[in-house]
Amino acid sequence: MTQLTYRDATPADIPTMLQLSHAGDARGKETPPLDPATLDDPRYRAAFDEIAADPNHRLIVAERHGEVVGTLQLSFLPGMPNFGMKRGLLENVHIRADQRGSGLGTDMVKWAVERCREAGCGLVQLTSNKVRLDAHRFYVKLGFQQSHEGFKLKL
């Protein structure tokens, strides 16, 4: 299998990251189409710049044969419990649909977990939409435990 290469995303990657995220939308076939006209909305660039400016957050793209096939956001969170143990948080983890099942997602998550270990994290956590059962099986296979219930409050 061809190895993935990883790099911090650049502003030029924003449309591809949004397309990967949209393709993994938990609504599946009920997901409204992504309007290409929205990909250059300045709010995306503002969010990108804010994330990129904080050394505790990274936007990552994974490439294979020079093409972006995966993306994730990696955050390092300090905490008070467990004697100040730092946690790694994986967000917006997506592999291009035509690459799923090839082992690339496993490689990408293992790469991210290793970055968390290098940053001194004692725990890696993530959330996954309740309807994404294939994703749940994927994370359990990688050693993640479904230990908590997640809650969200839209504002």
pLDDT tens by residue, 76-107? 999 999 999 999 999 999 999 898 888 999 99
Averaged confidence pLDDT in the chain: 92
The architecture in CATH of the region 5-141 reads 3-Layer(aba) Sandwich (3.40)
Judged by DSSP in three states, 139 sits in: helix
Q: What is the pLDDT of residue 97?
A: 87
Mean predicted confidence (pLDDT) in 124-136? 91
Is the pLDDT at 38 greater than 90? The verdict is no
Q: Label the pairing between strands 57-64 and 5-8.
A: antiparallel
Question: Under DSSP, is residue 89 helix (H, G, I), strand (E, B) or coil?
Answer: strand
- Give the per-residue pLDDT at 132: 87
Cβ 62 vs Cβ 6: under 8 Å: yes
Domain ranges of the chain: 5-141
Residues in the chain: 155
Whether 29 shows a pLDDT value over 70: the answer reads no
**pLDDT for 15:** 94
d(CA 108, CA 5): 9
